[in-house]
Every structure is written in structure tokens, then in C-alpha cells.
Structure 1
């Protein structure tokens, strides 16, 4: 434990400048709202809709100063689904169940699945919103959905307990064709599916920083108490920075990157701590056109740092790797620290550095 503490201290000793794709907007004299009911939470996050989609662009700050529990608020539902796994036997009690979305239950053991309908779809968030959790405030049983939104900050918010027993039971943060979104200082745990997911469209200027992703769960895809569904990036032109986060007891999708046809995703993973990661490990890059720059991270007890790679990854682990960055980014990359972990053999595609070269002025720059 002392060694692990030392690694954390070393990682966070760097001082960063730059905002890594995200460009902060400094709104002055924002109207501030403090919701008291579930309905007020929804209304303050998005006041106007057209055709079922949020079109609210009014600048506002919303303070969440208590836990709003949406579980059961839109009714409970039972339907025929299935066990995600039935072996070993403990999966019948500690594994996740699955809704039959896209006929995914074909060939699996059927069972009745009961879930809270509120969790299936997140609360719509408009543009120009700052959402701040205070005094442990947060959302329970329902996440957030940003669709065609821009300039949104979500800070210090707890998002927990969204149908954790059910795959397809709901996501914590759902991003669809967004621009300039900051996720900072949040705590996420016990989610049925993705903790963060980007959907189709361009999700640009997305910065995830200082968050805690807690994978401890009573229900898990691999029946081992570790959350599998961490981050899934599916956009057509995603530009995402993941910086200074702590992730533990997960078992896959850290991240899972699968771009749409004829599109590219760029992900910058900088100075995060990953520990006690099981089964499918972390990085699953399933797209030949996408690139992930992995630098300055700490990997401790990770089964596989890179689980799947059919794209481009640059993950410096020696001085030569560091210096190569300077030719493209104008600075040395940070070394990754790998302790008691597998799947971390040198992975260095210069395509990554070439892809990031055009963004070198907006990437986070560590001060050495």
C-alpha cells in the first residue's frame, strides 16, 4: 500500500496547463437554481423541448445540494430478459441480468428482469449549463443525457445506483453529438451499463478530469464484483481527454473505442491511476482509424493494460519513446508506470503522434 501511495503522489505532482480539447467559457452573473424536487431537477437542466429533444440554451448554474433518488419515480417494470452468464454458479446471484435489446438474449437462459424505468434514459441537459454537486449531492437511479448540447460543465456530482443489476438498465453520462463538455470531480458507481458513453455524431472538446470511477458492485458482467462497462466511445469524430482520474475494480472498456464508418476518434489518456482491473482489462481499440495517446498513467494490478488493439496506440515506457514525442508535440511525453500488470508491452504507433500533432497547442502540457 505504501508503494501505491507513492505512485499516486508521483503522478499528481505534475502541474498541468492547457485544457486538452476543452475550452472553458467564463459566464458572468449566471442565474443560479437550487432544485428541491425531482421535477425541478429536470426542469432546471432543460426547460424547453422541440420534437422531444432539449433545445434549452439559456446559461444557468444548477446546484445539487442533496441526493435526488429517481429510483421507481417513473414506475417499475418487469419483462422477459436473460442471464448474461450462468457459469460459474455464482453468476445466478452476483452476475448481471440483461434486457433483450437487439435480441441479445438469443441462446441465453431466460429470466424475468425487474428494473426502474427512470434509469433507462438520463435527464436531458441543455447547453450553457454548469451543474455542481454540493454537500455530497447527486443523482441516484438516473443519469444525465446531453444531446446536441454545448458548453456544459458537470462538477462534483455523485451519480450512483442506476439499475446496477441490469445490462441496458441505464448509463451515468450519455453524450450525443456534443461540444465542449467538462466532467470534473464526479463520483460514479453502481451503473447498469456505461459510466460514460459517446454516441454517434461528433463529440468534441470532451474533458474528463479528477473523477472517481468506482467499479465495486454487487452485480457484474463477469460475476466477480468488478464493473465492466466503463467508457464506450462510438462517435464519428470524438476528441476526448481523460486526465487525472482514479479508476479501480473495473474489468473492461477502459476505454472501448469503436468509431463509425469513415470516421476517427482521438483519445488522450494522461496521468490517470488505474488499479485492481480484472478480466478484459482496459484499452479495447477496435477501429483502424482511431488513435489513443497514453502517457503518464499509473497501472497497478491491471490484468491487461491493452486488451484489444486494431488501431493506433502510443504508450511511452522508456526514454526513446519520450523523446519521439518531441518531434511531433513539441515536448516529451510522460512515461507510464506499470506495476504487476500485463498487456503492457511497448505499443508505439507513430500514426498517433501524427494525428495529435495538429492539436499540440491545446493538449494538456505537464510542467516538468
Structure 2
């Protein structure tokens, strides 16, 4: 027995170390209290089929990614007629060293595909895996270790309550084509009829996608936090013909409520994020302590049926922090005492550096709407800062 004792100690030590590595901390903001898979025994997928099965089944799970899971080529490719929109034709004519995106046609053809009403027909080829995302059901934690947890070629369709996605990089979703694939898609559960609750996306990275980093629609999600994440728009296929991704975030949905805190959003050219603008939308958002940089177009695109508090954010080298318009409602904090009468606390000013103006739009209306949410009124934002990425894990800040 003495001969085996050092080995036993080593095995126990390794088990303890690995167990502690899955500690996810706790969500701030509207998703506070999210537990995901809780204390379920961790599982380690090594194949695409295992990852799909673990995420979709009906039991609580802690799913640990310690390798790259690559879906590209696993479901074949499709070659069909697509659309070349005017902005892609203009990019080709510029011959400035950048490439633009062609478009996968939606049901109804060019007349029913955004940007293609004056498009020309072109043949497109895409990887099928990115078109159909993996389904993530209730009570799941998907956690990457260090910088090893990478999903290539397929995104995630969140379709349940109490889900944590942490420290995972989603990338390579048909970046050459609009409608090539979303990294995160949310429409609510029960076929999009019921709003989801307790969704926490933390320390994720998204890059090189064909469509959105994240999109919500239909019944959507009523308690979500997006935190400490890196949304990287650098691409060699850009609708704006400048190496920056345009289709970044769309927040539609009938009951969309989310906190977006401590994220790094960079090298985009639009929709960073787009909020509201749809007749059936009802979007309330707290967007605090994020860092926008190297954005050649607009960041915020605020539409009807949206109410937003934006505070403590830092914009650097951003042409239009807010797209010009009159729709929607957003309070963009400029001083520390303006929120007291609504929230019972001070707001933290946003900061712009080498960027356009960022101001309120129907600000009092926005504050009146968000004040009833204790996760917003009780939040303690920090001063605006330029975030820097860590090399120890994905996103902003080192995980515990």
C-alpha cells in the first residue's frame, strides 16, 4: 500500500484542481442567480456528436471543453444561387484590398432577402454545419478551460432556462456570406412563445461569423447577462469593405431584458448593438462599462420599442457611437448625479475618445422605464475604462 500512496495523492490532487477550475463565479445584472448545470459531474466531449448530445439532452450538465471541436465539413456543403448586393459590387469596383460578402437567399428569393432587392445573381457555396446551430437546453453549463475551448463552424441556439456559456470561442461561421451563421441565437422556448430566463454569457469570444454575434427574437429572454466577453469583428469579408464586421448584435423580441457589462466590442462597422426597431419588439437593456474600439461605422442603433440605460462605457476610435435618428429611448449618462431622482443612485458618465458624439435620446422616458428593475437601479457601475484582453482565457479579465 505504501508503494501506491504517492500515486493516489497525485490523482486526488489532480481531481481537486480540475474541480476548482470549473468554478464560474456568479452573474451580475439581470441574470443574477443563474446556476447552469450546478454541481453535475463534468463531462468532456471529444467529438462533434458528443457535444451536440450533451447540450441537447434533458439532464443538468457541466460540459467542459478542453479542445477544439470543429464542425466544418461534417454536414457537407451546399452550392446554390445567391445574391450579390450593391455594396459587394461597389467593394469589388473599389479594389481596395478588402472583400465584401455575398448573400444566402432566404425564403422568397431576392425580393424577400434583405439587401437583395437590387442584387444580382451569383453562385454561393457554404458549409451546412454553420447554418443549423446546436440546441442548448435548460440547466447547462458549457465551460472552456484556458484558451482551449473552441467551437469552429457551428453556433449555439439557446432554448431553455438557466444556461451558462463561459470561456468558449465560437468562430468560422461562413464569414464570406450574409446569413452564413449566428454565434448565439435566442427566440425563447416552446417554439418561441415563452420568454427564457437566467441566461449568462461570460468570457466568451466570437469572431469570423457570417451574420450576428448574437440575435434575439420572438419571445426572447427576460433575464440575461452578457459579461467580460470579446466580440471581435476583424474579418477578410466585410459588408463595409474595410475588414470590419457589420452584422454584430440584433436585440428584437417581445420581452427582451438584458445586462451587457464589461465587454470589449471592436473592429465592427455597424449594429454594435441594434436594439428595437421592430413593431413587436419590447427591449429593456442596461449597457454599462463596455469598451468599443476601432469601429468605422455606428455602434448603437436605437429603434422603436427600446429603452436603454448606457453608463460608464468607453468609446475609442468610433465614428458614430450612436446612429443618427429619433426613434427609441436611451439615457446616455454624461454626469454622475443625473440618475438620482429615477434610480436612487448616481450614474457614471460615458467617455468618448477620438469618436463621434454619444448622447441621450428621450432619456427621461428611458430612465422611467428601467427604474423598476432592481438589477439596474441597484447596480454599481465603475468609471469608464479601456479594457485589455488576457492571454490566460477568453474575454476580459482572468477567471478565478
Tell me the TM-score normalised to structure 1 length. Answer: 0.87
**What's the CA shift for 1:161?**
0.6
**Number of the residue aligned with 1:251:** 269
SS in 2 for 1:299: strand
**What's the CA shift for 1:25?**
3.7
| Alignment CA distance shift 1:351-1:44 (3 Å) | same
Deviates more, 1:17-26 or 1:176-185: 17-26
| Alignment CA distance shift 1:240-1:269 (3 Å) | same
**Number of the residue aligned with 2:386:** none
**Number of the residue aligned with 1:19:** 28
**Number of the residue aligned with 2:331:** 314
Of 168, 171, 179, 2:182 maps to: 171
Q: Distance in 1 between matches of 2:30 and 2:126?
A: 37
**Number of the residue aligned with 1:144:** 156
Of 299, 302, 309, 1:285 maps to: 302
| Alignment CA distance shift 1:226-1:266 (3 Å) | same
Q: Distance in 2 between matches of 1:157 and 1:218?
A: 22
SS in 2 for 1:277: strand
**What's the CA shift for 1:261?**
3.4
Q: Looking at CA atoms only, which structure, 1 or 2, has the larger radius of gyration?
A: 2
Following superposition of structure 1 onto structure 2, how do residues 88-103 of structure 1 map, counting pairs within 5 Å?
88=91, 89=93, 90=95, 94-101=99-106, 102=108, 103=110
| Alignment CA distance shift 1:112-1:18 (3 Å) | closer
Q: Distance in 2 between matches of 1:295 and 1:260?
A: 24
**What's the CA shift for 1:366?**
3.0
**What's the CA shift for 1:338?**
0.6
**Number of the residue aligned with 1:33:** 43
| Alignment CA distance shift 1:301-1:131 (3 Å) | same
**What's the CA shift for 1:258?**
2.4
Q: Distance in 1 between matches of 2:44 and 2:370?
A: 40
Q: Distance in 2 between matches of 1:168 and 1:25?
A: 31
Unaligned runs of 5+ in 1: 1-16, 48-55
Matched, 1:225 2:243: yes
**What's the CA shift for 1:330?**
1.2
| Alignment CA distance shift 1:361-1:163 (3 Å) | closer
**Number of the residue aligned with 1:45:** 55
SS in 1 for 2:243: coil
**Number of the residue aligned with 1:14:** none
**Number of the residue aligned with 1:52:** none
| Alignment CA distance shift 1:91-1:234 (3 Å) | farther
Q: Distance in 1 between matches of 2:56 and 2:27?
A: 30
**What's the CA shift for 1:91?**
8.2
Q: Distance in 2 between matches of 1:361 and 1:63?
A: 29
Residues 236 and 261, structure 1, Cα contact 8 Å, conserved in 2:
no
Q: Distance in 2 between matches of 1:28 and 1:215?
A: 33
Residues 316 and 348, structure 1, Cα contact 8 Å, conserved in 2:
no
Q: Could you report, residue by residue, the CA deviation over 1:52-92 in whole angstroms, capped at 9, with x for unpaired residues?
A: xxxx2x21100011111101111011011022320132389
**What's the CA shift for 1:361?**
4.7
Q: Distance in 2 between matches of 1:117 and 1:354?
A: 45
SS in 2 for 1:261: coil
RMSD across aligned positions (CA): 2.0
**Number of the residue aligned with 1:365:** 380
Q: Across the two proteins, how many residue pairs are aligned to each other? A: 337
Matched, 1:342 2:356: yes
| Alignment CA distance shift 1:106-1:28 (3 Å) | closer
SS in 1 for 2:340: helix
Tell me the TM-score normalised to structure 2 length. Answer: 0.80
Whose strand fraction is larger, Structure 1's or Structure 2's? Answer: 1
Deviates more, 1:308-317 or 1:38-47: 308-317
Deviates more, 1:266-275 or 1:322-331: 322-331
Of 90, 105, 112, 1:87 maps to: 90
**What's the CA shift for 1:314?**
0.5
Residues 236 and 259, structure 1, Cα contact 8 Å, conserved in 2:
no
**Number of the residue aligned with 1:7:** none
Q: Distance in 2 between matches of 1:339 and 1:118?
A: 40
